[in-house]
Structure 1
């Protein structure tokens, strides 16, 4: 895979690989990708115009994500952001997934290829990286325009995934499944302990979900947004009415292997950045795809479609950014091992 397709290429004279500092800046952009519970399960290595991307399984959520599916979706989101950042720097990114069987945690190798001037579409999408935040606040009742919905669906198609809007009946069914999945997760052994790991604040903590990003209580409990304040009763949280008829979209891939999960993450990030560019707010709703039999109800294997993520899309107030680990924690030296 090469180009971040947001318009026709405008090639310029070929130049050597970008400097290490330029690629470091690209990695700095990549770590702004979304991840389950803001776990940031990725590491990077830079050498000779190439960035290797590793899955960091020490940050896997064993209760919610025993197979590592959501971990790879998170890493895939970082891979797309890295590709986009390299493209913004004027190089065509070349992607190889799982390039070395001897290194199973090496999930992607992104090479800064030939020079090509970034298109306006690339510039606009890249500008959204720093402004994309998960929004757990109520959205307005404004209808998302059909043109915007099509642009989101097109963004998913660019990354070989599908994004479909749930009709009224499907939306009701999906929200019901999500609510049921949320109840089952809360009753699952280890769920609260895992939630504690990623939500309770700590001195200087640069991961997890901080109190500022938790959002309000839902007055009518109409939306199954994960309650990150479950274990923090001391929080002074407002009670709000959420939109009664949210726009719900299903992101799906044509298979359900680790490669497809990585692909889903790239599609997810492209969709989220496109939504940000369109001034839309987004909330990933992952509970329905975290319970196998609930996820199966959202999946149509006859048509070769596996549900990977549910998205809530609309117009909402500005959301709070979540912290990011410093580069020193995620950037490997050229000679080090990923687990060091």
Structure 2
């Protein structure tokens, strides 16, 4: 495929693809800037949309940014360019998470099914069926994570039980902590025209059996206030981790997470993210020991299965994401 001309409609499509990525509490903590001289898109952290209490180190913000970088890479390749990516390219500009330069013609190894999947990918916080995910699909998901420098492990049943207990502890802590609870409630609301946050229809119910600790975004202190339904008896859980735990590792983990989610979407496998225990250092440290005896740094816990497609969350437009930078490319 020959590269397209980078005009305003193409640029807006590329940024819209990046913005379609998942982000913690749908904060969409990124901004984009085009350098027309080098034909490079910069992905910058929107720290004003960071979660000061839930994500004080910015790790989840970097994961979210990494997801956007992966989507942008997929879209750039779809339009015929080779995406040349650099992470944290300027140490004196810590808010600059990555750059993606539009290189020569994309290689034949590009994966068009991922471009289609990025528009369809949604988190599903609803009960899944008892139908198992085929082993071949699980292997493909692990390979997708490995391609981005991360590990995707599936703990054995006993380790899964321990992992779910850690997440349950974290969920109780989140609900009881007034600052974190208030921050969560701020982003769980009827958007009323805003393109950020979690509308009520996306939040999903709680597990009636209290086996799978789904996040209570409203931070209710009384479980009777929450809608509850029975979830799957044996959830399919996977842990995404990295060997190191630097900012670059967080960005790589975000790219790995999104590649896993896109491959899952291409196979019609639903996914929800169980992030609660990763927000507490002592619990996160224990998560890194769940899959096996090696100590790794857990970056995300995924629940996989077959079930209803999650409703779409609102997204900012490409014009909004590029609002700080005038669109000056050719039409």
- TM-score of the two chains, using structure 1 as the length reference: 0.89
Q: Which residue of 2 aligns with 1:325?
A: 316
Post-superposition offset of 1:263? 0.7
Please state if 1:40 is matched with 2:31.
Answer: no
Specify every segment of 5 or more residues in structure 2 that has no aligned partner in the other structure, as ranges. Answer: none
Residue matched to 1:191 = 180
Q: Determine if the alignment matches structure 1 residue 248 to structure 2 residue 237.
A: yes
C-alpha deviation, 1:304, in angstroms: 5.8
Stretch moving more, 300-309 or 107-116: 300-309
User: 1:126-153: per-residue Cα shift (whole Å, max 9, x none)?
Assistant: 1001111111100000111110100000
2:147 is aligned to: 158
Match of 1:305 among 285, 296, 312: 296
Structure 1 SS opposite 2:165: helix
Q: Which residue of 1 aligns with 2:87?
A: 97
- The Cα of 1:99 is off from its aligned counterpart by 1.1
Separation of aligned partners in 1, 2:238 and 2:169: 18
Residue segments in structure 1 that go unaligned for 5+ positions in a row: 1-11
Q: Does 1:147 align with 2:136?
A: yes
For the residue of structure 1 that corresponds to 2:298, the secondary structure is strand
Choose from 203, 208, 211 the match for 2:200: 211
Q: What is the rounded CA distance, in whole Å, between the counterparts of 1:232 and 1:20 in structure 2?
A: 48
Q: CA deviation at 1:237?
A: 6.9
> Size of the alignment, in residue pairs?
322
Where does residue 5 of structure 1 map in the other structure?
none
**1:161-310 alignment to 2 at 5 Å?**
161-230=150-219, 238-300=227-289, 303=294, 305-310=296-301
The aligned runs of 1:3-18 (5 Å cut-off) are 18=6
Provide runs of 4+ in structure 1 moved above 6 Å: none
How far apart, in 2, do the equivalents of 1:66 and 1:18 lie?
A: 37
Q: Which moved more, 1:138-147 or 1:97-106?
A: 97-106
Structure 1 position 238, deviation (Å): 4.8
Give, in angstroms, the shift of residue 229 of structure 1.
Answer: 4.2
Of 38, 59, 65, the residue aligned with 1:75 is 65
Asked whether 1:109 is paired with 2:96, we answer no
Q: Deviations over 1:132-189 (max 9, x none)?
A: 1111100000111110100000000010000011110110000011101111121223
> Would you say 1:28 and 2:21 are equivalent positions?
no
Cα offset, 1:46, TM superposition: 1.3
Moved more, 45-54 or 64-73: 45-54
RMSD: 2.3
Of residues 55, 59, 75, the one that matches 1:65 is 55
- Hey, what does 2:121 align to over in structure 1? 132
Corresponding residue for residue 7 of structure 1: none
1:275-300 Cα shifts (integer Å, max 9, x gaps):
00011000110011111000111225
Q: Deviation at 1:244?
A: 1.1
Is the Cα contact below 8 Å between 1:136 and 1:225 reproduced in 2?
yes
Could you tell me whether the CA contact under 8 Å between 2:4 and 2:80 is conserved in 1?
Answer: no
1:57-83 CA distance string (max 9 Å, x none): 101111110000000000110010001
Contact 1:44 1:51 in 2 (8 A): yes
CA shift, 1:19, in A, is 3.4
Shift of 1:335: 7.3
Task: Pick closer, same or farther for the CA change 1:104–1:128 going to 2, 3 Å.
Answer: same
